Homo-oligomer: A and B are copies of this chain.
Amino acid sequence: MSFSIGQKASFSKTITEQDVATFAELSGDHNPVHLDENYAKGTRFGARIAHGAFSVAVISTVLGMQLPGPGTVYMSQTLKFVKPVYFDDTITANVEITALRADKGIITLKTECANQRGEKIAEGEAVVFHENAKGGEK
A: residues with CB less than 8 A from B are 11, 13, 19, 22-23, 26-34, 39, 43-44, 51-53, 56-58, 60-61, 64-65, 70-81, 124
Contact = CB atoms under 8 A, between A and B. Distances in A.
Copies of this protein chain in the complex: 2
Contacts of A29: 57, 60-61, 64-65
B31 A13 contact: no
A28 B52 contact: no
Given A60-B51, A80-B75, A65 B31 contact: yes
Given A56-B53, A57-B27, A77 B76 contact: no
Contacts of A76: 78-81, 124
A19 B26 contact: yes
Contact of A22 (B26, B44, B72): B26
A44 B11 CA distance: 27
A74 B65 contact: no
Contacts of A70: 31-33, 39
A60 to B, nearest CB: 5
Nearest to A51: B60
A71 B58 contact: no
A81 B72 contact: no
Contacts of A56: 53, 56, 77
